[in-house]
Amino acid sequence: MEILMSKDPSYVRCIKPNDAKQAGRFDEVLIRHQVKYLGLMENLRVRRAGFAYRRRFEIFLQRYKTLCPQTWPNWKGQPGEGVATLVQHLGYKPEDYKLGRTKIFIRFPKTLFATEDAFQLRKNTIATTIQAEWRGYHQRQKYQKLRSSAITIQSWWRGEMGRKVATRRKNAAEKIRRFIKGFIHRQRPRCPDNEYFVDYVRCAFLMKLKRNLPKNVLDKSWPVPPPALSEASELLRELHMRNMVQIYCRRISAEWKQQLEQKVVASTLFKDKKDNYPQSVPKLFVNSRIMTNEINAKVLQIIEGDSIKYAVAVTKYDRNGYRARPRQLLITPSSAFLVEEAKVKQTIDYTNLRGISVSSLSDGLFVLHVPCEDNRQKGDLVLRSDHVIETLTKLAIESDKVNSVNINQGSIKFTIKQGKEGIIDFTSGSELIISKAKNGHLSVVAPRLNSR
User: Residue 452: what pLDDT?
Assistant: 42
Question: For residue 375, what pLDDT band results from cuts at 50, 70 and 90?
Answer: low
Three-state SS annotation for the chain: CHHHHCCCCCCCCCCCCCCCCCCCCCCHHHHHHHHHHHCHHHHHHHHHHCCCEEEEHHHHHHHHHHHCCCCCCCCCCCHHHHHHHHHHHHCCCHHHEEECCCEEEECCHHHHHHHHHHHHHHHHHHHHHHHHHHHHHHHHHHHHHHHHHHHHHHHHHHHHHHHHHHHHHHHHHHHHHHHHHHHHCCCCCCCCCCHHHHHHHHHHHHHHHHHCCCCCCCCCCCCCCCHHHHHHHHHHHHHHHHHHHHHHHHHCCHHHHHHHHHHHHHHHHHCCCCCCHHHHCCCCCCCCCCCHHHCCHHHHHHCCCCCCCEEEEEEEECCCCCCEEEEEEEECCCEEEEEECCEEEEEEEHHHCCEEEEECCCCCEEEEECCCCCCCCCCCEEEECCCHHHHHHHHHHHHCCHHHEEEECCEEEEEEECCEEEEEEEEEECCCEEEECCCCCEEEEEECCCCC
Q: What is the CA radius of gyration of the chain?
A: 44
Percent of the chain residues topping a pLDDT of 70:
95
Compute the distance between CA of residue 145 and CA of residue 255 in angstroms, rounded to an integer: 77
Q: Residue 170: what pLDDT?
A: 92
Say if strands 405-408 and 355-359 run parallel, antiparallel, or are unpaired.
Answer: parallel
Classify each residue of 153-174 as buried b or exposed e, where b means 16 or more C-beta atoms within 10 Å of its C-beta.
Answer: eeeeeeeeeeeeeeeeeeeeee
Tell me the sheet residues that pair with 357: 367, 406
Phi and psi at residue 210, in whole multiples of 5°?
Answer: -60, -40
pLDDT at 164: 92
Angle at 447 between CA 443 and CA 449, to 5 degrees: 145
Answer yes or no: are the C-beta atoms of 356 and 405 closer than 8 Å. Answer: yes
Instruction: pLDDT band for 451, please (50, 70, 90 cuts).
Output: very low
Q: What is residue 450's predicted lDDT score, i.e. its pLDDT?
A: 58
Q: What local confidence, expressed as pLDDT, does residue 168 receive?
A: 92
Confirm if 57 and 104 have CB atoms less than 8 A apart: yes
Round to whole Å and give the CA distance between 117 and 246: 61
Between the ranges 120-129, 340-349, 388-397, where is the mean pLDDT highest? 388-397
**Residues with Cβ within 8 Å of residue 87, at least 6 apart in sequence:** 97, 104
9-30 pLDDT, tens digit each = 777 778 889 988 888 889 888 9
Question: 103-107, 159-163, 322-326 — which is least confidently predicted?
Answer: 103-107
Cα distance between residue 17 and residue 30, in whole Å: 7
41-84 confidence digits (pLDDT tens): 776 666 666 666 778 888 888 888 888 888 887 888 888 888 88
Q: What is the mean pLDDT of residues 398-416?
A: 88
Q: Model-level pTM?
A: 0.50
pLDDT of 166 > 90? The answer is: yes
Task: Give the list of residues 6+ apart from residue 337 with CB closer than 8 angstroms, or none.
Answer: 299, 303, 329, 330, 344, 346, 347, 348
Kindly tell me if the per-residue pLDDT of 262 is higher than 60. yes
CA distances to 338, 406, 425 from 358, rounded to whole Å, are 18, 6, 11
Q: Which domains are present in the chain? A: 13-116 (3.30.70.1590), 195-251 (no CATH), 285-447 (2.30.29.30)
